[in-house]
Structure 1
């Protein structure tokens, strides 16, 4: 991360968490800048080590390679040139080819926030609907925007945030037991115990670290609340089973609610939330993102997080700072409460802010994914990565030269840049003892890198979210020699390999090449560049399903590059088995129809033997299993339809259908069962009078297409079981590449982007054509 001067990030109040400049309370930021702490801080990243960095020194490297120039004769390393004259622009702007009609590239296009302030009716509210909403949706910010400048908005109005409901005490008969004795808990402690009881059957509750952290926080809350009738000192004597059973009963009751009851609750909730979902930004209606304050509970964390199980405390209005325009109505806090502070800071893009207790970092309510603010941020991110293509050759030339630099610090800088560029490593940074021991490039330790001459390196460490990064790769010979030097005695396990550099130093160096260049930009650039290269290799042929599989294969290449792994889900085996069952059923339907064809024209088997060669592929046992599955699905369908009809009749206050009606409907399924039973004996399914060979062959063709598509679906699911495609598709691959594939290969965008992503990347869908290139 860069320093404050570079427009990067600074730590939160206690230095344990980093957030963008605009997210830090201004008073704290100003204090840090004045004290110089903003740049002399402990490096913090999503990856990082737990050891403090040694002070950078200008130590001269003695390289053992025969081909190195004698160190005494080496001149001072050439400094990278600033802002190379290669035709690239430092200011990010949309180019003409990136948007329809090239409007955004024109200098006379200005943001709606410039010039005259939009007029607003006095009765206009952030949650309004109607004609104004349609006008807002028509606003195409990518055709009129200025992404630079300190001021982020001219006017901002919103309705605040939604707080979670207050805790409802358990019934008097539902208690925690300790060593067989019922415990009378204070309300505060009962709530915390309930958090654990609700998770009793999950893997979290079986995690020793989770149990330890929960027990410590529970005991503290219990003590602060005045204690109870039992001296609780041993977690293993606590019995949550009665509480867990109660919560499970509530879940079942919710499931048993009728469709209309669920719908009514949903409508009621949506009506309550509607005013908070939108705000007015410069007079336009924009979506708000996370407008709900997260409820209290037990922190789970990702991977092997050391704080898993700790209590996430309840957030009150007194903890929340609002940000909006001067002169607009300040949202009313809940009765009996008041806001921590109300600001009018138009240099930031958050609407509300508070500090959470787990990582002691700030949480923010921001604009939603479909808002112009988020869209501009995404566009700028991908354009910055795209702009790197004009500088990457110069950067690679320089770091390859610096791999032999006489100064240890320069050599480490060059080697780290090489690893970040070629192997998409995250920059990494230092972490405290109470954080997960995840690392990146700069925080790699002695034990994370194994060298296998002549030039193979094994990386083995926990990356972001505690996902293991294990790769055996071939590296540049000089990079291999450098890593060997970095591991030389007195270095030993536990010591940092890159002990003279840090992510801020790297990013500051990157800024000399290109404005906004950080280590993360390399990952975005290489991910999008790899995707572009992969798409160029795909032939424009095959069905839509085949093309989607090929697209996903390209996406998977990027996900592997970025180490976007995931553990195989518990439902994976069941999902795969379900697809296998579906394939077997489709195969049975196809064979059944072909047998009908032979009943109409028996001679066709001799005329078209290949067409009927699979007619005996399924055994009687397999066909019987398919029959049972099909019949059970039909019975379940009849029951669900019967229940829905009765729910509708009940809502209309009409007489309900009697059970005899359900039995009559199920009897028709029983008749079909007898038909299948006879068919299994004779291999002759019943043929309808209206059936013809042509019609039946058309049905076979339809089934074959469905079998093909389902087969591809199965392959996709198995290939992607341990790789997360969504992370790279959403955050690292320029969405315009997905749009290009859709338009060039005739694949509906719905097959590649979900509805949420289509809304999020509307700017990409409307601005890129099939000829756009990253």
Structure 2
């Protein structure tokens, strides 16, 4: 439940929830501070992407920023050029930096049948959701119904069941720059065919977005030949076998219990069942859960830890001290250097102080006189203590925490266990937001049971909160799948507790969403043909709609919705204002606006001449703040799209274009005979094209340069090792100097580099010996024996120093002696392995540098059909664990069994 972004759902409407309070921003001076902070996706950063590989395109070509020219008068003689507003036009020059946009990558003609194999597919009635353009439910927005196409493998049609959209926080979506997936043998090809479903996005991911080290083998519910033959045996034989199993279970109750627990934990393979058809309104029959887990109450700081005001300690009551501590913990972060963050924090802090004034009578009125450093130093000391804990202590603390949370991690849905996703209630704190959010720094109030509505089955025990209080409401609505909901106070967004991403309901929702995007393949040519014709329509509303469709399809812009005065000023395609699009004759448009989550969208593109002409017409005689498309709304646009295909909305184009783009890029750019790393680089390149297309930016991780430095150092170590092996060959037989693979020196490894590397090696060796000596002595003392004398350590250090004196003498001689003698064949083999290792490592470094400003995980989670990745991994023999984290493998179990020839 972490994050600051609302978790919306189109058909899951809370009952009469009231928005919490929100404050106005104050104006005070900012406080300095520096240091590292989390480098989450796109947070507080407006830098352009520096590494962009272009996609082949026709009409949409990214170009370099050019010097602004005066707008040329390009008048049109047709009747259609009548402007829609009478106010005088204004020009605003964008001060934005250039970010190459992703080019059109989806204009190729596609197959007319959605299943990709030319077979007819039955369509199912589902509910479309919009994870990108959701609005607060109090506005009464309803979901549209639509069709999901059948799947490529000809599996039975999925149940006619409406599935809602589930959106939670994206705060943990940013892929860590230092994540290193490790290899694993590619999974066996699945023979079972996958059914088609899904239409919702859930971005509630835990910090388990790290590539897994080891993935346990999945339990398969499919019958083996042996099991099948057993099931076809006579009934009498079956009964005997069953009776025998029951007798064994009774004889060994522990074994029987363990087996039952394992069966309970087995994944529910919903995609293999032919569910009964229903009216699509009921999501569950029975639901039982333990509510949500509230964070523990605030514990006051030690009496000697106090914030200072004008140099004097202030005696704050717990409520005010807690808020001061929120800021103190961020004192050395970038947030504390942000003026708007400081303004919003101090305004809310003053409000808290009015209700809970300092006990010593201090009047706090000036932010610049506040000193939170004593609090910061205390928190840092506590962090250090946690880091210093032994492995056993950390394990014990984690076990205690897990025991407290265990009852909230699962629920009983229709009699089977399902994991709950975001079961933790967000603790109070300071809202950080993303990008240039106007409310960053505002106080997030503590959520209490009285703020929460619980949804649970009738006739089951009502859960008791783990903190004092009573639930606001308890309802029994089986047409929605959320377990709890409340309204947060900063943005008045509705928060929901949903089932985990890997649950059956969420899995069906996901599959339907991607099948909806695949179904669009059979309609997209007709849609494009129509909107291209309407670009010249005499009806201005149709012309505006066609132009908006052009942007949504070619630039993957979100549709956008109207915003209230208290909401962040973010826009999408339909809500663009004149100030957001600048004309650069003859046919270039410059987009500059804040998109979802206040992430800046800046793009320069060359468009069709008619599109450029239309934008000039739409902007004529309007102010900068006027709507560009004043006769188009998201509702009207979606209604028009539904006439082509049931359930089609603007947001389906974003999923379609993202999945179509990566499929095309993978098909064109994957080296069939390349190494695994070369194939991974091809996949990441394709994913970057999607991230650029969808504007999935992130700030360059603060640890990026440090990480790249470590990689360069390690690469130098490989080269040094290779050099020593070569020189050892030369010492054995000088003829090796003439062989082409050995004669050239290692690139960028000069004498200074060698000396520096050897000094680093020496320091590491000595440190290693010292740690081992200390550890051995501790062990001896624990066993009641006498510890080793310091002379033992000195002797070992002397040996190391002698070894490195020897290496120093070898510098520049072109010869070397190894620690142990090895035959030339073994040395040659070692050099060959190092060559391959160096090549692979260079590719990894290039890949990391290219992706430093692009968030690759967002598209994997929300926009790319996971079957594309699963099929590609099987076709090219790449372990899927190299690409999908444990979280994604759990989220998309239905996609893992797709055939290798499956195509989007």
Q: Could you give the per-residue CA deviations for residues 642-678 of structure 1, whole angstroms, max 9, x where no partner exists?
A: 677788889x877696674666665554444334333
Shift of 1:636: 4.2
Distance 1:446 1:666, change over 3 A: same
> Which of these residues, 378, 386, 389, is aligned with residue 257 of structure 1?
389
Partners of 1:596 and 1:687 within 8 A in 2: yes
Task: Specify the alignment match of 1:374 in structure 2.
Answer: 506
Q: In 2, Cα distance between the equivalents of 1:25 and 1:322?
A: 10
SS in 2 for 1:23: coil
Taking the TM superposition and a 5 Å limit, the aligned residue runs for 1:534-683 are: 534-538=665-669, 539-606=671-738, 608-614=739-745, 618-638=749-769, 660=790, 666=797, 668-680=799-811, 682-683=813-814
Shift of 1:270: 2.0
SS in 2 for 1:20: coil
Distance 1:197 1:684, change over 3 A: same
> Which of these residues, 760, 771, 774, is aligned with residue 901 of structure 2?
771
Q: Could you give the per-residue CA deviations for residues 306-344 of structure 1, whole angstroms, max 9, x where no partner exists?
A: 111111111112222222222223222235422222222
Distance 1:179 1:26, change over 3 A: closer
Shift of 1:96: 5.9
More contact order relative to length (CA 8 Å, sep ≥ 6): 2
Partners of 2:315 and 2:358 within 8 A in 1: no
Q: In 1, Cα distance between the equivalents of 2:322 and 2:196?
A: 57
Partners of 1:98 and 1:772 within 8 A in 2: no
Task: Specify the alignment match of 1:137 in structure 2.
Answer: 266
Distance 1:565 1:642, change over 3 A: farther
TM-score (normalised: structure 1): 0.83
Q: In 2, Cα distance between the equivalents of 1:465 and 1:663?
A: 59
Distance 1:443 1:142, change over 3 A: same
Shift of 1:691: 0.3
Q: In 2, Cα distance between the equivalents of 1:666 and 1:327?
A: 73
Distance 1:345 1:644, change over 3 A: farther
Q: Could you give the per-residue CA deviations for residues 418-473 of structure 1, whole angstroms, max 9, x where no partner exists?
A: 11011111112222344333222112111221223332222222222333322222
Which one is further off, 287-296 or 134-143? 134-143
Q: In 1, Cα distance between the equivalents of 2:548 and 2:579?
A: 17
SS in 2 for 1:236: helix
Q: Answer yes or no: is 1:443 the counterpart of 2:575.
A: yes
Task: Specify the alignment match of 2:9 in structure 1.
Answer: 20
Q: Answer yes or no: is 1:695 the counterpart of 2:826.
A: yes
Q: In 1, Cα distance between the equivalents of 2:596 and 2:779?
A: 50
Shift of 1:483: 0.8
Q: In 2, Cα distance between the equivalents of 1:133 and 1:305?
A: 47
Shift of 1:247: 1.1
Distance 1:465 1:335, change over 3 A: closer
Instruction: State the aligned residue count.
Output: 690
Task: Specify the alignment match of 1:721 in structure 2.
Answer: 852
Partners of 2:736 and 2:742 within 8 A in 1: no
SS in 1 for 2:743: coil
Q: In 2, Cα distance between the equivalents of 1:643 and 1:629?
A: 21
Distance 1:544 1:483, change over 3 A: same
SS in 2 for 1:510: helix
Q: Could you give the per-residue CA deviations for residues 474-501 of structure 1, whole angstroms, max 9, x where no partner exists?
A: 2222222211110111x12221111122
Task: Specify the alignment match of 2:313 in structure 1.
Answer: 182
Taking the TM superposition and a 5 Å limit, the aligned residue runs for 1:110-149 are: 131-144=260-273, 149=280
Shift of 1:710: 0.8
Unaligned runs of 5+ residues in structure 2 are 19-41, 43-73, 83-111, 115-119, 125-147, 156-190, 198-256
SS in 1 for 2:8: strand
Distance 1:264 1:636, change over 3 A: farther
Q: Could you give the per-residue CA deviations for residues 15-42 of structure 1, whole angstroms, max 9, x where no partner exists?
A: x98932433224579xxxxxxxxxxxxx
Q: In 2, Cα distance between the equivalents of 1:514 and 1:210?
A: 45
Shift of 1:412: 1.0
Q: In 2, Cα distance between the equivalents of 1:772 and 1:753?
A: 18
> Which of these residues, 374, 387, 398, is aligned with residue 530 of structure 2?
398
Q: In 2, Cα distance between the equivalents of 1:596 and 1:247?
A: 54
Q: In 1, Cα distance between the equivalents of 2:866 and 2:325?
A: 43
SS in 2 for 1:603: helix
Q: In 2, Cα distance between the equivalents of 1:256 and 1:18?
A: 37
Q: In 2, Cα distance between the equivalents of 1:615 and 1:424?
A: 46
Q: Answer yes or no: is 1:350 the counterpart of 2:482.
A: yes
Q: In 2, Cα distance between the equivalents of 1:234 and 1:546?
A: 57
Q: In 1, Cα distance between the equivalents of 2:505 and 2:352?
A: 41
Shift of 1:706: 1.2
Q: Answer yes or no: is 1:310 the counterpart of 2:442.
A: yes
Which one is further off, 749-758 or 585-594? 749-758
Q: Could you say what the CA RMSD is over the residues aligned between the two structures, in angstroms?
A: 3.0
Shift of 1:621: 1.2
Partners of 2:662 and 2:686 within 8 A in 1: yes
Partners of 2:151 and 2:515 within 8 A in 1: no
Distance 1:17 1:508, change over 3 A: farther
Q: In 1, Cα distance between the equivalents of 2:303 and 2:356?
A: 18
Q: In 1, Cα distance between the equivalents of 2:877 and 2:312?
A: 68
Distance 1:689 1:337, change over 3 A: closer
Q: In 2, Cα distance between the equivalents of 1:103 and 1:724?
A: 29
Partners of 2:153 and 2:194 within 8 A in 1: no
Shift of 1:304: 0.8
Q: Could you give the per-residue CA deviations for residues 596-631 of structure 1, whole angstroms, max 9, x where no partner exists?
A: 11122222223x144222268622211111112223
SS in 2 for 1:308: coil
Q: Could you give the per-residue CA deviations for residues 83-128 of structure 1, whole angstroms, max 9, x where no partner exists?
A: x99966441365360764447489xxxxxxxxxxxxxxxxxxxxx9
Partners of 1:586 and 1:703 within 8 A in 2: yes
Q: In 2, Cα distance between the equivalents of 1:659 and 1:331?
A: 62
Task: Specify the alignment match of 2:326 in structure 1.
Answer: 195
Query: Larger % of helix: which?
Result: 1
Q: Answer yes or no: is 1:97 the counterpart of 2:153.
A: yes
Unaligned runs of 5+ residues in structure 1 are 1-15, 30-45, 47-62, 72-83, 107-127
Shift of 1:130: 5.7
Distance 1:452 1:439, change over 3 A: same
> Which of these residues, 458, 468, 474, is aligned with residue 600 of structure 2?
468
Q: In 2, Cα distance between the equivalents of 1:85 and 1:773?
A: 12
Partners of 1:455 and 1:477 within 8 A in 2: yes
Taking the TM superposition and a 5 Å limit, the aligned residue runs for 1:28-67 are: 65=76
Partners of 2:724 and 2:816 within 8 A in 1: yes
Partners of 1:158 and 1:276 within 8 A in 2: yes
Distance 1:698 1:471, change over 3 A: same
Partners of 1:319 and 1:354 within 8 A in 2: yes
TM-score (normalised: structure 2): 0.72
Q: Answer yes or no: is 1:734 the counterpart of 2:790.
A: no
Shift of 1:292: 0.9
Q: Answer yes or no: is 1:500 the counterpart of 2:631.
A: yes
SS in 2 for 1:721: coil
Shift of 1:64: 5.8
Shift of 1:155: 1.7
Taking the TM superposition and a 5 Å limit, the aligned residue runs for 1:421-436 are: 421-436=553-568
Task: Specify the alignment match of 1:363 in structure 2.
Answer: 495
Partners of 2:306 and 2:375 within 8 A in 1: yes
Which one is further off, 700-709 or 505-514? 505-514
